Amino acid sequence: MISVEELVSNEIIAILPLYIDMEGNSTKVITKNQDEKYINKSIKTFITLLAKHFMIDLSSTRQYYGKLIGSANIVPLPFNKDNIFVPLKVRKPISKNDGSLGYFNIGFIKDIIKKNNRIYISLDKELYIEVLQGMESARRNIRNAHIVKDAYCKRTGVTIMEGQGFYSELSKPATKGDIAALRNELMDIKINLLKSSHSSV
């Protein structure tokens, strides 16, 4: 199996779950030059190996940033400033232990597009990957990933400079839908903060 170190050095842009006959749940890793590597391990196991490589505790990371964005299940993973991965649904699980989420490096996401009633993540090098969730849901997840990136960089003292691309789109005027979604997210965060303050008394 190709090493995690080699995959990271080649710059991972997407990590996708898939099922391979005779091998079971496996993982497809796409790197910057669009090389596709197939790992005979579940995506959950591969993410754990990636966390070990970057020496982070997945449970603590998910708990901390989950509270920050008000989500317990779909939590972006900051391995370092250049490897912030947003989870998005890419397949329907066949059995209980199947992973349905793929992980996308937000540094390579260009846009989200809708074509023939299907939603695609547009990545560098004209790569498109279908996601099985709504446009607004996908945008919210990616927006949360950028919130996590900003928080991670502040915690670690890293200075970042964002270029053009999808992230710059987020600075455009908000739509009514954006404002409604943001209001709901703020209310969720407020409720979680109140719960935390009461439990600590």
| Average pLDDT for 15-23 | 85
Q: What is the pTM of this model?
A: 0.78
| Spatial contact of 138 and 127, defined as CB atoms under 8 Å apart | no
pLDDT confidence of residue 25: 86
Q: Which domain holds residue 143?
A: 4-170
Q: Are residues 15 and 53 in the same domain?
A: yes
Q: Are residues 95 and 180 in the same domain?
A: no
pLDDT band at 23 (very low <50, low <70, confident <90, very high): confident
pLDDT digits (tens, 9 = 90+) for 68-124: 999 988 999 999 999 999 999 999 877 666 678 999 999 999 999 999 999 999 998
State whether 109 and 184 are in the same domain. Answer: no
- With a CB cutoff of 8 Å and minimum separation 6, the contacts of 7 are 29, 31, 37
Helix or strand or coil: residue 46? helix
| Residue 176 shares a structural domain with residue 166 | no
Number of domains in the chain: 2
Q: What is the pLDDT of residue 92?
A: 86
- Looking at per-residue pLDDT, the higher value among 1 and 77 belongs to 77
Question: Is residue 142 domain-shared with residue 189, that is, in the same domain?
Answer: no
Please tell me the distance from the alpha carbon of residue 47 to that of residue 132, in angstroms, as a whole number: 20
Residues 101 and 50 in one domain: yes
Asked whether residue 141 falls in the same domain as residue 116, the answer is yes
Residue 65 has pLDDT above 90, yes or no: yes
- 112 with 122: CB under 8 angstroms? yes
Asked whether residue 183 falls in the same domain as residue 153, the answer is: no
Q: What is the CA 167 to chain-centroid distance, rounded? A: 14
| Sheet hosting strand 83-89, strand order edge to edge | 36-39, 24-31, 12-20, 101-105, 83-89, 77-80
Tell me: the pLDDT tens digits for 151-196?
999 988 876 555 444 554 454 455 555 566 667 667 767 676 776 6
Block residue for tokens 């023939």: 116
Residue 125 has pLDDT above 50, yes or no: yes
pLDDT number for residue 165: 47
- Asked whether the predicted pLDDT for residue 51 surpasses 80, the reply is yes
In a shared domain, residues 60 and 158: yes
Q: 22 and 86 share a domain?
A: yes
Burial (0-12, 13-18, 19+ Cβ within 10 Å), 129: middle
What confidence score (pLDDT) does residue 95 get? 67
**Alpha-carbon gap, residue 18 to 161, rounded angstroms:** 34
Domain co-membership, 32 together with 87: yes
Same-domain status, 35 and 110: yes
